[in-house]
Amino acid sequence: MTGQEYRRIVVKIGSSTLTDNSGQVDRGFIYRLGKQINDIRHELGAEVLIVTSGAIAAGLEALGFGADRPTDMPSLQAAAAVGQLRLSQVYAEAFSEWGLQLGQILLTRFDTENRNSYLHARDTLERLLECGIIPLINENDSVAVDEIRFGDNDTLAAHVAVLVKADLVILLSDIDGLYSADPRRDEDAVLIESIGSFTREIVEAAGAAGTSRGSGGMVTKLEAARICMAAGIQMVICEGSRPNVVIDVARGESLGTRFSTEITKSHSARKLWLALSGQVLGSIYIDAGAEKALREKGGSLLPVGIQRVEGEFAAGAAVDIRSLDGMIIGRGLVSFGASELSQVAGKSSDSIRSDVDLPSAAQVAIHRDQLVIFY
């Protein structure tokens, strides 16, 4: 048991948990989920939001695309349009048996990147919760294009959790947590029960462990964990098919893999939004000195500590800050575009002033107010 009481919980259900191989929505699963959510509300007094996948899978099945799945965007988006409606119908019917009402919200990354839309989405979600309605959230797959897609619902669930200041995210998967190696190939693989910060081993284990269906896999779950941990939100990866898994995790039972962090000074909501809501367009590799300064002093990232820049991006873009061995240690908004950053990388402020023709005000590569260190 964690001894913690949760107030607001985001439950994410992956396509592989929700649909069978032919894309049929598993009504029985949704009905049992409804019971657990009803119990969580009454027994634990917590609010619940659902992030559900399965629209595309359900739509492909409805359109008769089952066996040879199309890959072109219009077909997938048409499938999402048909499938989302089916999916919501199944949820609405099954949940009504427990007296639960749902409100559907379909988001794209545009809605989290744009401050105005972000605040509106937050207000709507808050109001739904106040009214005792369970938000049923998915990506707006039928209109989202690459530039504004989350692409996976693990990341979407983490953003929703930050948006509504949830204290727990439960990711229901087809595997019971993160293993030290891929359990399908390595019999020595062991379940990692608790993660307080990322190590090279954990990142490598996640890279190796794919899950069979759904677009997630472990890499996107780790990305969701980074976002949650930066916001001081616990996250649990567990097996969706285990009976009563949602209520058991909500009660604090040790199940699956639990990510948590002892965040003492939590970032402000605005800073989390600034640093984490945008699509990551590149990476900045920094030396050990800069890493130490960011971690221990909470300063801005200066050009002098930058060793290498990767990706194409303009000033204001979100980038990952990585150590030289590639570990992601933070994320933030750059003051320079990629080519200018490459010009100033490794240079002291004095030499930038004398050698490089750039506005002197922009001496900082990423300002401290626009960057979040993950752990």
CB of 57 or CB of 94, closer to ligand GLU:
57
Rounded Cα distance between 219 and 215, Å, is 10
Which residues 6+ apart lie within 8 Å of 229 measured at CB?
Answer: 197, 235, 259, 260, 261, 263, 374, 375
Rounded to a whole number of angstroms, the minimum distance from the CB of residue 196 to ligand GLU is 26
Q: Which of 33, 23, 12, 8 is nearest to 244 (CA)?
A: 33
Stretch that binds ligand GLU, among 20-28, 104-112, 213-221, 268-276 (CB under 6 A): 213-221
**Does residue 14 belong to the site contacting ligand GLU (CB under 6 A)?**
yes
Q: Cβ(219)–Cβ(151) under 8 Å?
A: no
Rounded to 5 degrees, φ, ψ at 331 are -150, 145
Stretch that binds ligand GLU, among 52-60, 120-128, 193-201, 303-311 (CB under 6 A): 52-60
Q: Cβ(289)–Cβ(348) under 8 Å?
A: no
Place of tokens 């229901």: 172
| CA angle 342–346–350, rounded 5-degree value | 105
Rounded to a whole number of angstroms, the minimum distance from the CB of residue 141 to ligand GLU is 5
Stretch that binds ligand GLU, among 31-39, 47-55, 172-180, 276-284 (CB under 6 A): 47-55
Stretch that binds ligand GLU, among 92-100, 208-216, 304-312, 315-323 (CB under 6 A): 208-216
Rounded to a whole number of angstroms, the minimum distance from the CB of residue 19 to ligand GLU is 9
137-156 residues in contact with ligand GLU (CB under 6 A) are: 138-139, 141, 152-153
Stretch that binds ligand GLU, among 51-59, 61-69, 116-124, 204-212 (CB under 6 A): 51-59
Number of chain residues interacting with ligand GLU (CB under 6 A): 15
**Does residue 19 belong to the site contacting ligand GLU (CB under 6 A)?**
no
**Does residue 17 belong to the site contacting ligand GLU (CB under 6 A)?**
no
Rounded Cα distance between 26 and 315, Å, is 46
Rounded to a whole number of angstroms, the minimum distance from the CB of residue 27 to ligand GLU is 17
Local structure of residue 25 (DSSP, 8 states): B
Which residues 6+ apart lie within 8 Å of 286 measured at CB?
Answer: 294, 301, 305, 306, 307, 321, 322, 323, 324
**Does residue 78 belong to the site contacting ligand GLU (CB under 6 A)?**
no
Of the residues 34, 214, 256, 278, which one makes contact with ligand GLU according to CB under 6 A? 214
Stretch that binds ligand GLU, among 105-113, 194-202, 209-217, 229-237 (CB under 6 A): 209-217
CB of 139 or CB of 291, closer to ligand GLU:
139
Q: What is the Rg, in whole angstroms, of the alpha carbon atoms belonging to the chain?
A: 21
Of the residues 9, 11, 15, 171, which one makes contact with ligand GLU according to CB under 6 A? 15
DSSP 190-219: -B--EESS--HHHHHHHHH---SSSS-HHH
CB of 53 or CB of 260, closer to ligand GLU:
53
Amino acid letter for position 177? G
Rounded Cα distance between 135 and 10, Å, is 10
**Does residue 167 belong to the site contacting ligand GLU (CB under 6 A)?**
no
Rounded Cα distance between 362 and 194, Å, is 41
**Does residue 55 belong to the site contacting ligand GLU (CB under 6 A)?**
yes
Rounded to a whole number of angstroms, the minimum distance from the CB of residue 241 to ligand GLU is 16
* Other beta carbons less than 10 A from residue 129's beta carbon: 17
Rounded to a whole number of angstroms, the minimum distance from the CB of residue 4 to ligand GLU is 27
Residues near ligand GLU, by CB under 6 A: 14-15, 53-57, 138-139, 141, 152-153, 214-216
